[in-house]
Amino acid sequence: MPQLLIAVLAGAGIFAASRAIARTLEAHAEANRQRAEARKRAAQAGHHPKDLGSLEYDSATGVYRPKATDA
């Protein structure tokens, strides 16, 4: 009889774990869909991210700024 109880508890644990994993995967998929939709809307509106190149820390002001090019 204890073996049956252990099997039932193990089955319930596996079921609960699979449900938790499924919810996590669905949440990640939804987040990816929302990110893609936001990128799509931004591209349609003409917003493109600005490429600043490499940044360096300016200790005088405490912020990061684009690296000065020596050209």
pLDDT at 71 (0 to 100): 52
27 vs 71 pLDDT, higher one: 27
Judged by phi (left if over 0) then psi (alpha if -120 to 50, else beta), residue 58 lies in beta
Structure-token pair, residue 61? 């002001």
Q: Are 67 and 56 in contact (CB under 8 A)?
A: yes
pLDDT value at 31 more than 70: yes
pLDDT at 70 (0 to 100): 62
Rounded average pLDDT over 1-30: 96
Structure-token pair, residue 67? 């690296």
pLDDT value at 45 more than 80: yes
Buried b (16+ CB within 10 A) or exposed e, 22-49: eeeeeeeeeeeeeeeeeeeeeeeeeeee
pLDDT at 49 (0 to 100): 73
